[in-house]
Amino acid sequence: MELNCVNLKDIINSGLPEDFKDSDKNEEKNRTVLNRPLEVASNLQPILDYAIKEMFNIHMQASQTIWDMKMFNDEFKKQGSGFIVCYTNNEYKKSDKTDKTDKTDNKTLIHKDNVKLSLKSQIIGFFIFYTVLDEMHILDITVAKNEQSKGIGTFMLDYILRKYINLGVKYFYLEVRASNDRAINLYKKFGFKIFMLRKGYYDDNKEDALCMVKEVV
C-alpha cells in the first residue's frame, strides 16, 4: 500500500514554502515553521473540513478517550499545534471488521512523496501534537479501527519522528494507558522511556497513565 503523511497546517498555511526541505537544520527557522500562525485560504477550506471530519470519525470509532468536535477544532486553531493525517489514494476496499490475524510487515507500506491529499483520499490514521520550543507533546495517535494490525501505527510514528527531529525537536512526550501494552511496546521500540506515573489520569475509568519521553541525543 502506498501511504503519505502530511501536516494539515503545512498545506494550508501560506507562510510555508512548498519546497521546504526536512534537511534544513537551521533550528531558529525550523521552530518558526513549527509555531507559525494559522492562515487558511478559502479555496482550501473544503479539504480541511473533510480531513478533520475523517479524523474525528476515526477517533470516535477507535479511541477510548473521547474528544468532541469542538475540542478538535479548538486544538487545530492553536498556535504550535499539528494535525498529521496518514492517507492513501489507492483504490482499496476497507474490511468490515478488524482482522486480528493480519500482521502485514510495515516494510510493505511505501511512503509516496508528492501525492496530494484530496477529497478522494482515504484517511486511515492521524496524529495530533503541539510544540513548545524544541519539545513535542503528543496528544493523540490513532489508526482507523478497520486498518489496525497492519503496521500503520509503526509507519506513522517512524515518519513523524524522522521529520520532526530534522526540524529541531529534541524531546517527545506522551501519555499512555498503563494497560495498553501494545502501544507501550511500540513506543519503547522507538526509544521512549517511562519517567512518571499519573494516578487516575483518565476520566472514563480512572486508569493510571504512564508518562513517556524520547530524548534525541
Question: Tell me: the pLDDT tens digits for 32-72?
Answer: 555 555 555 567 788 888 999 999 999 988 887 778 888 88
Cα 21 from Cα 24, distance rounded (Å): 6
15-24 — which CB contacts under 8 Å span 24+ positions?
Answer: 15/39, 22/162, 22/163, 22/166, 22/167, 23/166, 24/166
> Do 165 and 214 belong to one domain?
no
- From 2, 39, 187, 201, active-site residue: 187
Q: Which of 169, 185, 203 is a domain's end point?
A: 169
> Do 89 and 25 belong to one domain?
yes
**Residues of the chain below pLDDT 70:** 12-42, 91-115
> Do 165 and 182 belong to one domain?
no
* Catalytic residue flag (residue 175): yes
- From 130, 175, 201, 215, active-site residue: 175
pLDDT score, position 44: 76
121: closest CA among 61, 41, 51, 18? 51
Instruction: Specify whether the CB–CB gap between 210 and 194 falls below 8 A.
Output: yes
> Do 186 and 136 belong to one domain?
no
> Do 193 and 214 belong to one domain?
yes
> Do 182 and 105 belong to one domain?
no
What is the extent of the structural domain holding 194? 176-217
pLDDT score, position 11: 73
Residue in the structure block whose three cell numbers are 473544503: 46
> Do 33 and 86 belong to one domain?
yes
* Catalytic residue flag (residue 215): no
CATH number at residue 127: 3.40.630
Domain count, the chain: 2
Cα 123 from Cα 110, distance rounded (Å): 15
At a CB cut-off of 8 Å and minimum separation 6, what does 125 contact?
Answer: 58, 85, 86, 141, 142, 143, 144, 147, 152, 153, 156
Indicate if the alpha-carbon torsion angle 160, 162, 168, 169 is positive or negative. Answer: positive
> Do 23 and 107 belong to one domain?
yes
> Do 134 and 201 belong to one domain?
no
